């Protein structure tokens, strides 16, 4: 099977394309499963308005659009309704309430360690601060302990701005915590193709971070490829998919082709 559980919509304010356009691209690229996982809307109690995610009042429209795509293409491709979410303990109840509204899965994308409304981005916080590196890993471990998340999106985000020569013992310890927690939770870690595409387009500080993946190979934690599509065209980039697969298999990773919700029925 060829599955992607990581795709966005324009509601996040930094993506393009309708759900239908993503589905058509997925069909053309030969995907069996497409999961929409736009950035979670948070009801920030401080009144903060995010510039990189949908507003809470847009959630209904997102759900309706994805459900319409599910209905229109139910005989062609499996479509899932999900969200990419951080783990903010103060808002954990919000994640559970959205499950009741039909959100089928969450990807853990810990873009900020505490909360976007009052803390720096993970990549900025961890750029030169080993204590923040450890806090990021501990947050990932705590998140996976809730059982709410299907996998860890771009687990190496904490290294995005960190110079390669500063991949030190703190970074290794963080990687160990992430992998141990993923194994205990029974979830894979994501090799992110959007980051790989950014690297090819000349962005220096981006994931996947080679040192991270080389280091965690010893853990034998399952990996999964996430396109992280912010535009439909990225789903059509077969060369990028093949490059990601080759990188993972070359390091000895077991690469999952589906999540448990798409396991064949006995």
Q: How far apart are CA 227 and CA 232, in angstroms?
A: 10
Bin 200: left if φ > 0, else alpha if -120 < ψ < 50, else beta: alpha
Residue-range definition of the domain harbouring residue 53:
3-262
Instruction: Give the percent of the chain with pLDDT over 70.
Output: 99
Segment 217-224 shows an average pLDDT of 98
**68: which 2 tokens?**
């319409």
Specify the CATH number for the domain of residue 71. Answer: 3.20.20.140
Token couple for 233: 């065209």
Domain count, the chain: 1
| pLDDT band with cut points at 50, 70 and 90 for residue 211 | very high
Mean pLDDT value of segment 117-134: 96
**Lookup result for tokens 């992110």:** 192
Give the model's pLDDT for residue 19.
97
pLDDT in tens, 171-209: 999 999 999 999 999 999 999 999 999 999 988 788 999
Mean pLDDT over residues 110-130, rounded? 95
Contact, 121 vs 111, CB < 8 A? yes
Span 238-266, mean pLDDT? 94
Give pLDDT tens digits for 39-64.
Answer: 999 999 999 999 999 999 999 999 99
Could you read off the pLDDT of 138-181 as tens digits, one per residue? 999 999 999 999 999 999 999 999 999 999 999 999 999 999 99
pLDDT band at 131 (very low <50, low <70, confident <90, very high): very high
The pLDDT, as a whole number, for residue 265 is 67
pLDDT digit string (tens) for 82-99?
999 999 999 999 999 999
CA distance 136 to 120: 12
The answer to whether residues 87 and 122 touch, using CB atoms and an 8 Å cutoff, is: no
Cis peptide before 208 (omega within 30 of 0): yes
How many whole angstroms separate alpha carbon 190 and alpha carbon 136?
16
Neighbours of 258 (CB within 10 A): 16
Confidence (pLDDT) at 266 = 55
Query: What is the DSSP annotation of the chain?
Result: --EE--B--GGGSS----HHHHHHHHHHHT-SEEEEEEEPP---TT----SSS--GGGHHHHHHHHHHHHHHTTTT-EEEEEEEE---GGGHHHHHHHHHTT--EEEE--SBSS-TTTS-BHHHHTSS-HHHHHHHHHHHHHHHHTT-EEEESSGGGGGTTS-GGG--HHHHHHHHHHHHHHHHHT--EEEEHHHHHHHHTT-SS-SS-HHHHHHHGGGT--EEEE--BSSGGGGG-HHHHHHHHHHHHHTTPPBPSS-GGGPPP-
Q: CA 24 → CA 73, 77, 232, distances in Å?
A: 10, 10, 8
Q: Check pLDDT > 90 for residue 232.
A: yes
């Amino acid at each position: 099977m060829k599955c992607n559980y990581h795709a966005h919509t324009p509601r996040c304010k930094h993506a393009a394309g309708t759900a239908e356009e993503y589905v058509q691209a997925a069909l053309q690229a030969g995907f069996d499963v497409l999961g929409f996982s736009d950035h979670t809307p948070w009801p920030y109690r401080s009144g903060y308005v995010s510039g990189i995610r949908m507003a809470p009042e847009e959630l209904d429209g997102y759900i309706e659009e994805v459900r319409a795509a599910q209905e229109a293409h139910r005989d062609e491709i499996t479509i899932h309704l999900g969200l990419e979410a951080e783990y903010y303990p103060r808002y954990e109840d919000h994640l559970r309430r959205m499950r009741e509204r039909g959100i089928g899965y969450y990807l853990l994308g810990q873009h900020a360690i505490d909360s976007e409304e009052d803390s720096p981005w993970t990549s900025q916080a961890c750029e030169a601060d080993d204590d923040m590196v450890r806090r990021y890993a501990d947050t990932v471990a705590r998140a996976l302990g809730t059982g709410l998340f299907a996998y860890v999106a771009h687990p190496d985000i904490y290294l995005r701005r960190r110079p390669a020569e500063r991949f030190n013992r703190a970074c290794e310890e963080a990687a160990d915590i992430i992998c141990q927690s993923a194994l205990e939770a029974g979830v894979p870690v994501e090799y992110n193709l959007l980051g790989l595409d950014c690297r090819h387009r000349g962005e220096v500080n981006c994931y996947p971070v080679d040192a991270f993946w080389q280091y965690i190979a010893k853990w034998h934690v399952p990996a999964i490829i996430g396109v992280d599509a912010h535009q439909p065209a990225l789903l059509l980039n077969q060369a990028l998919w093949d490059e990601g697969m080759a990188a993972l298999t070359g390091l000895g990773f077991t690469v999952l082709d589906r999540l448990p919700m798409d396991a064949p029925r006995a």
